[in-house]
Amino acid sequence: MASYTAGKLYGSGTYAEALSGTKSFEFTNPSSGSAYFILEAVRNNKGSYDSTSNKVAEGTYALGSGFDSLVTSSYIAGVVIEPGIHVMSINFDNVTPTSGSLLRTTGDISLNIN
């Protein structure tokens, strides 16, 4: 299990643990309004994705209540998170190594991954 504080996730974000198989993402949004979560592959030195980029966002998503507007591609996924504690799971199609992806948010969201 890994825990990520709002301070680490906000803005430019933080590197993620290794992601593979099925993971549960538990978000806490203490704000009175919605915020955004982004899971993104690390970009190359030109700021884009290429054939060496991790396809971290490929998988099957199961959203609980409190999520809206999931958007995905092979390299990035984003979702709106309503106030409260909400859980989604992702069954990843690929193995992404530690520091192969970034986790980012707006607002004051914290995250636990199991």
Give the gyration radius of the chain's Cα atoms.
13
Predicted structure pTM score: 0.94
pLDDT in tens, 73-90: 999 999 999 999 999 999
Q: What domains, with CATH codes, occur in the chain?
A: 2-113 (2.60.40)
Confidence of residue 42 (pLDDT cuts 50, 70, 90): very high
Residue written as token pair 């299990």: 1
Q: What is the DSSP code string of 21-88?
A: SEEEEEEEE-SSS-EEEEEEEPP-TTSS--TTS--TT-EEEEE-TTEEEEEE-SSEEEEEE-SEEEEE
